[in-house]
Amino acid sequence: MVKKLKIQYEPFEEIIIREFVKFENADDLARFASIVAGGKPTGLYWTDGILFLYFPLPATTETAAKALVEEKKVYWTFVGFALLPDYKKIIETREKIMVPVIDMSPNPTFKKVAQWLKEAERKRS
């Protein structure tokens, strides 16, 4: 029996994106995702018209672990994204690569990332 179980939600306070690339279309991003995964099954995330994938810096170093626990900060070393106005459950490339897409719209963190990517790309253009 669990005594005085406490559950607490503490969202990240900061996501630091080191590098990001806008792909021309969803097919290019799906192709890239398949290549970096070595042909293994992989997926993409979709939120508010943005299709993306990210690579977090593993919290295996002391610095990254400290930032995660003490500062509620995570580092994403790379984010690839493409505009995809309407959600699709699967992206099928011309090479017939099938990449599943997860709708993360209910997640407030992913919503903020999608908004940030849209704004960052506008500023780059």
- Give the mean model confidence (pLDDT) for residues 71-91: 95
For residue 79, with 0-12 CB atoms within 10 Å meaning exposed, 13-18 middle and 19 or more buried, which class applies? buried
> So what's the pLDDT on residue 39?
65
Q: Tell me which residue of 106, 120, 102, 95 sits closest to 46, measured CA to CA.
A: 102
> So what's the pLDDT on residue 40?
67
Q: How many CB atoms lie within 10 A of CB 26?
A: 21
Any idea where the domains of the chain sit in the sequence?
14-124
**pTM confidence score:** 0.87
Strand partners, 50: 47, 83
Residue 37 reports pLDDT greater than 80: no
Residue 1 reports pLDDT greater than 70: no
